[in-house]
A and B are shown apart, each in its own frame.
Chain A
Amino acid sequence: MSKLGELGRAILEHYPLGFFSLDQAMQAAQLPRKFVTDALVSLSKEGVAKKVKKLRKEHVPGQSPKFALIYSVNRKALAARIAPKLKNETVQDRMWAVIRKSKSFNLRDLITLTGVKKGTVRWYLKALRGLGIIHPSRLGGGSGVIWNLVNNVGVRRPYIKPNRKADDKRITGKAETMAPTTKRDARIHFWLSKAEVELSKEKALKQNLSVSAYFRMLLHRDGEA
C-alpha cells in the first residue's frame, strides 16, 4: 500500500469523529512529519481534509516556531480516495455485468456471453466465491454446476487482489477486499473501528465525548505538547 494509503487508513481507524492533529496523524501512521504535512496539504486541495485550527506552540529559543495543526476530514471521501482504483471496461467488468444480470448461470453461459477464455472465467468465479459473492449449486466441482449470485454488491465490480507468487510467477487468484463494497459493510467497518478505538489505550480520551468536547481536548493536549 502507498504511504498516502497508510496515512488514510490510520486516520480512518484511529479518529472516528474525523478530527485529529498533525502530531496524532504522524503517531498513528508512523510516518515522518514532512510527508504527513505534504499529504494533508494535497488532501486539503482535493477537498477531502480541511485545516480547522492553527495554534502556535510554546516557543523554544533557538528553534523555528512550531504550530499545532488541527484537521477535520470527510471520512467517506477519504475512504474513496484511498480505495484501489479500478480500470473501466475490462473483461472483469463484462463478466460482472453478465453475472449481475443473470443471477443464476453456469460457466458456459459466462464464456458464451462475454467471449472471455475459459481459464479467466474459472479464475474469476473462484475469486468471487472466495469473496462470498457467488455460491455453487453443489459442492465438488465438475460440469453442470450452477452458480448463484448471493451478494450483489452493486454496479461496480468487486475488487480482486491478484496474488503473485514469486517462485512460480503464476497468478493464483486469491481474493481480498481492500475497502468495504456495500453501505452495510461500510457501516460495520465504521462501528468495528470505533469499538477498537474505544477499547484501545486512548479509551479515556474518546469515551462518550461530543464533537466539541473532543475538539477542545485535542487543542488542550496539543497545546501542552
Chain B
Amino acid sequence: MKSIFVITKNIKRFQTAFQRINHKSHGIERVCLTVGEVGLGKTVAGLYYGVRDGAAMITVWPGMTQHWLLRSVARELGIDEPAWRTERLIEQIVHVLMQDRRTLIFDEIDHFFRNNDAKRVDALDSIRKLHDFCNIPVILIGEERVDKKIERVPRLNDRIIEVVRFERYKENDVKDIIDQLSDYRFEADAIEKITKTSDGRIRPIMRLIHRAENTARIHQLKTISAKDF
C-alpha cells in the first residue's frame, strides 16, 4: 500500500470549500461547516489541509468553556503566556491574528451542544467574534446533525457559507481508493466485499486493503479476489 493521502470525493469537496473560504473579498463571511459520521476522515482532512495552510487546529473537549477555548486558541497561535483575564486574552489573540491571518479549525464542535449549556454557546459566539474582527477563515468540524444544532446560535449560523457533508463511500469510490493506494489488481467481488464489510468507512477500508495485500504478497498473487482475504 502506497504512503499517500487518498483524494476521495469527500476530500475533494472539503478542498473546494477550503479554497472558497480563503477568498480575498472583504466583508464576505468565511465560515465552513464540515459534518459527517464517525470514521469518515473529517479530522484527517482538516489536519492535512491545515498543516499545508499553516492553520491553527483546536480540538474541542467535553465541558470546554469560553475561557478554556480562548486559551487553547492562544496557545495554538504561539502566544507563550496567555493572559488570565478574558479581555486581555482576546486582545492578545486579535493582535496575533491581525498581524498574521491564519485559518482556525475547530474539531469536534458537537461537544459545545451537550446539555444545552448557555456557557458553551458563549464559546461559539466568541469564535464568531474572532472571525468578524480579524476576517479569518474558520472551519468547524462536527458529527452528524451538528448543522441542525448550530442553528441555536443564529449569528454564527448566518455566517456559514459552505457546508461539507462527508458521506459513506460506495463501491465506485472504494474502487477509486484502491486504484490510488494499491499496486495489486482487485477483482469486482473483492471490491464488493470491502465495501460491504467496511460499511463505507475509510478506516476499515484501509485495514481490509492492507490485509488483502498481505495475503497477495504471501501467496504471490497478482490479482486479488473476494476469497483471498
Contacts and interface: CB of A to CB of B under 8 A. Distances in A.
Interface string A128-165: 00000000000000000000000000111000000000
Given A97-B51, A114-B51, A108 B57 contact: no
Contact of A112 (B4, B77, B80): B4
A112 B3 contact: yes
Given A113-B44, A155-B77, A155-B78, A98 B51 contact: yes
A118 B4 CA distance: 11
B227 interface: no
B47 interface: yes
Nearest to B1: A108
B167 interface: no
Contact of A101 (B4, B47, B75): B47
A154 B75 CA distance: 8
Interface string A92-109: 011001100110000010
Interface string B30-56: 000000000000001001101110100
A89 interface: yes
Contacts of A98: 47, 51
A156 B5 contact: no
Contacts of B76: 155
A113 B48 contact: yes
Nearest to A115: B5
Classify the secondary structure of A's interface with B: helix
Contacts of B77: 155
A108 B3 contact: yes
B39 to A, nearest CB: 16
B78 A113 contact: no
A165 to B, nearest CB: 29
B3 A111 contact: yes
Interface residues of B, number: 17
A112 B5 contact: yes
A154 B3 CA distance: 27
A114 B50 CA distance: 11
Interface residues of A, number: 18
Contact of B47 (A113, A155, A156, A183): A113
A35 B107 CA distance: 52
Contacts of B75: 154-155
A89 B102 CA distance: 13
A118 B54 contact: no
The residue in A93, A97, A114 that gathers the most chain B C-beta atoms within 10 A of its C-beta is: A97
Contacts of A115: 5
Nearest to A95: B51
A156 B78 contact: yes
B1 to A, nearest CB: 8
Contacts of B47: 98, 101-102, 113
A96 to B, nearest CB: 9
A57 B5 CA distance: 70
Contact of A94 (B3, B51, B57, B78): B51
The 6 closest A-B pairs by CB, nearest first: A111-B3, A155-B78, A97-B51, A94-B51, A108-B3, A112-B3
Given A111-B3, A154-B75, 17 more contacts: A93-B54, A94-B52, A97-B50, A98-B51, A101-B47, A101-B59, A108-B3, A113-B5, A113-B44, A113-B47, A113-B51, A114-B51, A118-B3, A154-B80, A155-B77, A156-B78, A183-B80
17 contacts: A89-B54, A94-B52, A98-B51, A101-B57, A102-B47, A108-B3, A112-B4, A112-B5, A113-B44, A113-B48, A114-B51, A115-B5, A118-B3, A154-B80, A155-B75, A155-B77, A155-B78
